[in-house]
Structure formats: C-alpha cells, structure tokens
Structure 1
Amino acid sequence: MEAIPVLSTASGRQAWRAELGATLSLAWPLILSNLTYAAIQATDVVLMGWLGARPLAASALGINLVFAFSLVCLGLVTASSPMMATAIGAKIQVVHDVRRTFRQSLWMIVTVMVPIWLVLWNSEPIILALGQEPALARDAQTFIHGYMWSMMPFLFFQAMRNFVAALERPGWVLVISLFGIGANALLGYGLIFGHFGLPALGIFGGGLASSIVWTVLALMLAVVIVTDRQFRRFHLFGRFWRPDWPRYRKLWRLGLPIGLAMGFEGGVFSAAAYLMGLIDAESVAAHAVALQIAAMAFMVPWGLSQAATVRVGRCLGEGDKPGIARSGWTAWMLGVGFMAMTAIVIWSIPRDLITIFLDDTAENARVIALATSFLAIAAIFQIVDGAQVVGAGMLRGLHDTRVPMIFAFVGYWAIGIGIGAWLAFRQGWQGQGIWTGLAVGLAIVAVLMLWRWTRRETLGLTRVAS
C-alpha cells in the first residue's frame, strides 16, 4: 500500500502548505454548511423530543425512510461536482461545459422526484411491512406527508452548491444555510405547537416546516447565482428546457454508482432504525438521538470529502499527478484527525450530549441509557467513518464510482448489517449489537477505499475520463 507522501524539500513543504490552505479555504464553508444542514435536522429531532418519545420515534422512522431516498438522489447530483471541477481544471470551454453539466443535473432531479413522491405518499404500508407498530407507522406517514416535499428544493440547493464549490466560492452557501437554522427552528416550533399565530399541526407541522424552509433556501441561492457577477456569466438557468442527452447519460453513468453507494451507506442507518423498531419504541428514539450526535460530527469529514472531490478533480483536469496525491492525502489526514478528536469528546460526555435532545426526566431515563450505550460504540467508529467518507470523495474526484459502490454494498450490507442483526437478535445484544455491526461495516469500507486510492496509478484512475 502506498505510504502518505512526505517531502522534505523546501519546495515540497511549500506545495503541501499551499494545498492545506486551498483545502481548508474550500472546505470550511462546506463544513459549516453541512453542519447547518445537520442542525436543521437536529432542530426537528429536538422539537419532536419535546412532543414525546413516541412522536420522536415516529418522526425518526419517517426521516430515515425519506433520507434513504434523498441520499441516492444526492449521489446522482454529486456527479456534477467532479465533472465541473475537471472542466474548470482543463480550462477548455469552461462556461459551456459547466453549464451543460449543471442543467442536466437539474433534469436528473426532476426525472426521479415524481416516482419517489408517489412511493413516499403511500409510506405507511411500507413501514408496516418492515415490522413497525401500526400507530408508529401511521404517525410516520403523517410526518412524511409534510416532509417529503423538501426533497426537490433540497436537491436543487445541492446542485447549485456543487456549482459554487467547483468555482471555489462556497461562502454564499454558508450564509444562506445559517439563515435556514433559525427559520426552521421558528417555523417548526410555530407549526408543531401552534405559536406565532400559526395552526398547531403537531408531527405534520414539523415535516411541513422543513419543506417550506428548503424551498426558501433554494430560491435564495438561485437569486445569488443569477445576480453575482462571477456566477451569472454561466447563465445556468437559461434555456433550461433544452435537452442534452449525451451529458444527461454521462451524469447517470457517473452519478448512479455514487447514488447507490451513498444509498447503501445512509440506507444502512435507516435499516438500523427499523431494526430498532423490532426491539421497541425506546430503542428507536435512542437510536435517533445517538445518530443525530454522530451525524453532527460527520458533517466535518463530509465537507472535507466534498473539498477533496473538487481539488482532486481540478488536478485531474490539469494532469497534475503530484497535485492529485497532495489534495487527496491532505483532506484524508484532516478528516481522520478531526474524527479522532470527536471520538474523545463523545466518549467523555455522552450524557451531556444526549440531554441536549431529551429532557433528563424519569420518563426518558431508559431512552437516555440506551443512547449512552450506543454512543460508546459511535465513539469507536468515528475515525473509520471519517476515513471512508473522505476516501470516497478522493476517488470521486478521479471519476471512480463503480468499484466504490461495490465496496459500500459489501461493507455496509453484506457484512455490517448482517453482523449487526446477528448480534442483536441471535446473541441478545439488541441495539448495541446493531451499532457494533455498523462500526464493523464502516471499518471495512474505509480500508477498501484507502487501498484503491493507493493503487490509483496502477489502475489508470489518474487519466482524464473522456
């Protein structure tokens, strides 16, 4: 396996320092934007926790079902990021090439949304078929009926975010996302509990608030793109109705494996939530809280992964193989280092983190105890979780998506969820067994991603894709 390159010359150190600065400059707004996205979801969890453990469990089932579909679609859209970055690095017909990719990424979103909405509208039978309590399934569908409409504006927002990130100007995304946190908290509070002159819609109101907020955020970023001088020269939304079938097909070829890989990863956590439902509602609620805490930490390596995709993709377009190595390894070391620190924090103060989401009362005592035991395992897998997500971003920058998709399926589903279910139900570990299986799956995928990255030259991944 290739070692992490270390250059002792002054020029080598300067190149690494320059790459570190470029990666951090691109990554920090993306990281903070990811954190605001997680904060919006965390707000939903907090508000549902105020309603009670059972509404929290029902909304968790709904969010996890929508999340599985959203991740697949997000993977499709993610394909536009390395394609735009490589076009910018190649410096050939940049405006035309970037515009083609962006427009067809929006076409992909429109293509998939209608059938997904039809499935989600009729989600109660699906949730029942997964062995959940009828009352929880009914309430989960009520939440989904409000929440499902957030998917299209959320994906439009991500497509536009990929564009501004490819130009290495993600600051506007951060500003708009920060607005979204406050807007979601206020609107969700009003629509759930009936404050500010709004109707009290309960669990449905929490989902509806997220749909409204994501629509507003997408419109705000679109306004920035059509008015900012550097962005508007691309005319991204002009003649949106014109098809570009070659680029559309290329996005599907690159994006479908990314979408399936992300779906396998996110879907395994959704599957874990439904396995928790086979235990009891308290386990579902504890899983939702523990997963939300882990997800907040995950936003940092995810942002570094997105930065790695852009930086590696640009170096690929320029034909700069040493630059490919520097950009990939820089992001990887930052991501793994950060997750090592968060593992220590989660291990040290789990109860303090959990009681952010749940009141420390006798009624919630069992949920808090379960969540604490889950976080003890989550602290262990933080490091490998960071390694696998940044590794995936590095490979996406090389337009390498099909084999990582296979890695994700084998690691998360054939091994991770299999071990988790076996430990939970055959060995009596219950929820702790499910989380142990998740940790094993993440570790295996991390090793496979890193192995493939170190063999990129041998595999011909550093040649620009046609």
Structure 2
Amino acid sequence: MNQTFTKKQKLMQLINILIPILITQLSMYLMTFFDTTMAGHYSPKDLAGVAIGSSLWVPVFTGLSGILLAITPIVSQLVGANNKKEVSFSVIQGVYLAVFMALIVYTVGAFILNPVLKGMNLENDVREIAREFLFALSFGMVPLFVYNVLRSFIDALGKTRVTMIVTLTALPINAVFNYLLIYGKFGFPELGGVGAGYASAITYWLITFIAVFIIIKYEPFSGFAVFRRLYNISLSKWKEILKIGVPIGFSIFFETSIFAAVTLFMSKFDTTTIASHQSALNFASLLYMVPLSISMALTIVVGFEVGAERYKDAKEYSWLGVFLAVLMAFVCGLVLFLFRYDIAEIYTNDPNVLKLTAHFLLYAMFFQLSDAIQTPVQGALRGYKDVNITFIITLVAFWIIGLPLGYYLANHTDSGAFGYWIGLISGLAAGAACLGSRLYYIQLKKFKPINQG
C-alpha cells in the first residue's frame, strides 16, 4: 500500500483493494450456497438440517470473527507508522486469541447445542442432521478463526488479491469434498448433509495452511517475520484487540441477527409471504456484499493514513468510499427496479410468490441506499479505531428503532409483512444519519487534518 497525493490516485488504490475483497466475500457467500444446494439434492431432510445448522452457526461465527477484525485497523495503523516489529507480535497474539475463542465456543456448544435443537419444532431426523452437521463443522473451527486473523493481517497490508486467490481456491476444494462426502463417491463414506460439515472443516484447514505458507514464504509478509518467534501470551495485547474487536463483533451480530428475528416474527404469515420475503432478502444480502466490501477496504486505507498521521488523506478516503457506495447503490437500485420480476424468477415459478417477491424487491431498493451510507462509514470509523459509539448506534438503529417499528407496522396497520421492511429501512436510515454525524465529528474534533507537506 502506497501514499497517495491526488483523488484519482486514492480512487485507484481504493478500487484495487476493494475488488479482491468483493470477490472474496462473494466466494464465501457461494461456499454456504454450495453446502445448502448440494445437501438439498441429496434429500429434503438433509437440506433442512444443513439450513438449520447454518442458521445457528452463521450469527455466532460472524459476531465472533468480527472481534478478530480488530487486527486490520491495528496492523494498518502500525504499518502506516512504520512499526514493523509490533506487527508480528500483534498478529501472533491475535492467533492465540482466535484459538482461545474457538475453545470457548467448543465448550459452550457442548452444553447448549442439544437443548437449543430440542427447543425447536423439528422432525427428529432433521434435528439429528443439524446436530451432526455442526459437530462435523466444529473440527474446522480453530483453523477458521485463525484464518480470519491471518486474512486481516494480509488485507491490512493492502494485499487483498492474496486473500481473494486463497478464497477462490477454497471454492473448488469445498465443492469437491462436498461431492465426495455428501454422495459417498470414489470410496468415501456417504454422509448426506453432514458431509457438507466435514467438507467445510477440511477446507478451513487447507486454506489456513495455505495462508501460513504464503506469510512465511513471500514478501511483503515474510518481512514481518510473523512465525519466526514464539511469543508469550500477552493479556494487555488481548485487551487491546478485544477493546476494539468486541464492539465490532457485537455490531455485526446485531446487524445479522436482526434479519433472523424478522424471519421468526414473519412465521405468522402464509407460506407465500414467507417464501417471497426470504427470496427478496436473499438477493438483498447478495447486493449487500458491495457496501460491505467497500467498508472493509476503507478500514484498511483509513487505518494506514491515520497511522501515518495523514489525517487529510484519511478524511478524503472516507468520503470517497461513501460516494462510491452511494453511486453503486443507485446502480443496484436501478437493476432492482427494472429487472425485479426477472430476479424473482431466479427463486420461483409460482406466480403468486413471483409477484410478491418482486414487490419486496422494491423495498430492497431503499435498503441499498441506507446500507451505502452506514456500512462504509462503519468501515471508516474502524480505521480510526472508533468502535464503541458505532456499536451503540447499531444496537439502537436495529433493535430499538427498526424492529419495534416494524412489528408495530406489521401487526397494527395495513402494511402487513411489508411493515417489517419499512421498520428495518427506517432503522438503517437512522443509523446512517447518526454514523455519518459521528464520522464528521471524529474527523473535525479528534483527527484534524494537519499540514502534510
């Protein structure tokens, strides 16, 4: 990553970092897609079991891995300050913390998984598949958490193409092991949907070994000598990581879990409405990868400039990223408006579901605009290591404004199921306004641009 002097240079560097992140996020999205669809081709019960298992695992994983995202602003600021020695120490402490967190999840899961599954209204076969799927997946939990630390280190150096290549490599590996273990091909055991869990675990180990090899072997990563010294555990460094990472993790958890809560509340509506809601939400989640990727890129470049005390450049990057996200939101919104029926046909042939899905997609247009502001702004704030207020704003926007308002509109007005979407859009808009104000305040009061010569 290099110092930039013009807006054009900044835009080019931001795009060069952004595009590989976007491809990486889409690849990770596709990995879950392959697990679900390949299990679905085995049997409906295996599809249901894998879907239930994934729905329990994804909010937990995204929240906890969000904690480890703290490595990105920590490393990017250290690199910006040219403090290479501290980088390797921070990364290794992040690895230790990742292993410790995985062990905690193992322990907690051993006690609560069965009660949680038994508390759900599931068929016995589906419940057993979900339990065994999560058990199989657990074998890859340690490498998955460690990989998130290593990915954060690689990305913090601006080398996002590397993690893109590693993740793209993971896709065919995961698909091949899914094929072998779900269907029992070439002498492998036929495990059904549970095989998708083992396939993912194997994939996590392989991509972690690949990331370790790259960091040891190739520049600029090898220059940081990350694995050449075995450091003692540093609780003070863990505290620094957790101080930044816990608010990030909770923010991500609140944002991802709100949609699960809405889906739960919508169970009172008919099957057509629920199917239409899920289809529109699935496509909106795919489009969300764009502002999310811009957000992750902004954390890297803003952290780099803040570490170098080039606050004017950090400010320019922040708002350049927001402008780019808003521009993309208008493009995505236009696509949604013009092709909403074509998009709906991807998910269904049922005329009633198709029509209602197309209607939900109109609301998804407004999702895009709010996400285009609040998500990149969150990324910029993480680059400044300003995460506590972001966490509070996210909590209020989704759980105190969005969900209660949506529940009221859906149950006490004529809005019906659309009321939940209106509530969430309102929460997103409120969050976007508050987060934008927070970024403006941080740049004005705490990180004033100085003469950069």
Common topology (TM > 0.5) = yes
Q: Partner residue of 1:8? A: none
Q: CA deviation at 1:225?
A: 0.8
Q: Partner residue of 1:210? A: 200
Pairing partner for 1:112 from 95, 98, 101 = 101
Q: CA deviation at 1:346?
A: 3.0
Q: Which amino acid aligns with 1:318?
A: A
Q: CA deviation at 1:79?
A: 0.8
Q: Which amino acid aligns with 1:444?
A: A
Please say if residues 312 and 449 of structure 2, whose CA atoms lie closer than 8 Å, have aligned partners that are also in contact.
Answer: no
Structure 2: runs of 5+ lacking an equivalent: none
Structure 1: runs of 5+ lacking an equivalent: 1-12
Q: CA deviation at 1:381?
A: 0.4
Q: Which amino acid aligns with 2:207?
A: L
In 2, Cα distance between the equivalents of 1:456 and 1:400?
8
Q: CA deviation at 1:260?
A: 1.0
Q: Partner residue of 1:236? A: 226
Question: Structure 1 residues 322, 178: closer, same or farther in 2, change over 3 A?
Answer: same
Q: Partner residue of 2:257? A: 267
In 2, Cα distance between the equivalents of 1:318 and 1:461?
12
Pairing partner for 1:88 from 76, 79, 82 = 79
Secondary structure in 2 aligned to 1:233?
Answer: helix
In 1, Cα distance between the equivalents of 2:354 and 2:72?
40
> Which structure 2 residues correspond to residues 333-372 of structure 1 after superposition, within 5 A?
333-353=323-343, 356=346, 358=347, 360=348, 371-372=357-358
Residue-pair matches, total = 445
Q: What RMSD over aligned residues (CA atoms) do the two structures have, in Å?
A: 2.9
Q: CA deviation at 1:282?
A: 7.1
Question: Structure 1 residues 387, 22: closer, same or farther in 2, change over 3 A?
Answer: same
Partner deviation per Cα, 1:348-370 (whole Å, 9 max, x = no partner): 334544555x5x566xx776666
In 1, Cα distance between the equivalents of 2:147 and 2:273?
33
1:448 is the counterpart of 2:434: yes
In 2, Cα distance between the equivalents of 1:222 and 1:413?
39
> Which structure 2 residues correspond to residues 295-334 of structure 1 after superposition, within 5 A?
295-334=285-324
Q: Which amino acid aligns with 1:327?
A: Y
Question: Structure 1 residues 126, 438: closer, same or farther in 2, change over 3 A?
Answer: farther
Q: CA deviation at 1:28?
A: 1.5
Partner deviation per Cα, 1:258-301 (whole Å, 9 max, x = no partner): 11111111121232343345657776665554443222222222
1:191 is the counterpart of 2:177: no
Secondary structure in 2 aligned to 1:176?
Answer: helix
Q: CA deviation at 1:113?
A: 1.6
Q: Partner residue of 2:366? A: 380
Question: Structure 1 residues 463, 14: closer, same or farther in 2, change over 3 A?
Answer: closer
Secondary structure in 2 aligned to 1:230?
Answer: coil
> Which structure 2 residues correspond to residues 49-198 of structure 1 after superposition, within 5 A?
49-50=40-41, 55-91=46-82, 94-121=83-110, 122-127=112-117, 129=119, 132-133=121-122, 137-198=127-188
Partner deviation per Cα, 1:68-96 (whole Å, 9 max, x = no partner): 111221221111111111111112xx221
1:39 is the counterpart of 2:25: no
Q: Which amino acid aligns with 2:289?
A: M
- TM-score, with structure 1 as normaliser: 0.85
In 2, Cα distance between the equivalents of 1:283 and 1:128?
27
Please say if residues 373 and 432 of structure 1, whose CA atoms lie closer than 8 Å, have aligned partners that are also in contact.
Answer: no
Question: Structure 1 residues 313, 113: closer, same or farther in 2, change over 3 A?
Answer: same
Q: Partner residue of 1:438? A: 424
Q: CA deviation at 1:372?
A: 4.3
Please say if residues 370 and 428 of structure 2, whose CA atoms lie closer than 8 Å, have aligned partners that are also in contact.
Answer: yes
Q: Which amino acid aligns with 1:81?
A: T
In 1, Cα distance between the equivalents of 2:13 and 2:442?
22
Q: CA deviation at 1:430?
A: 5.9
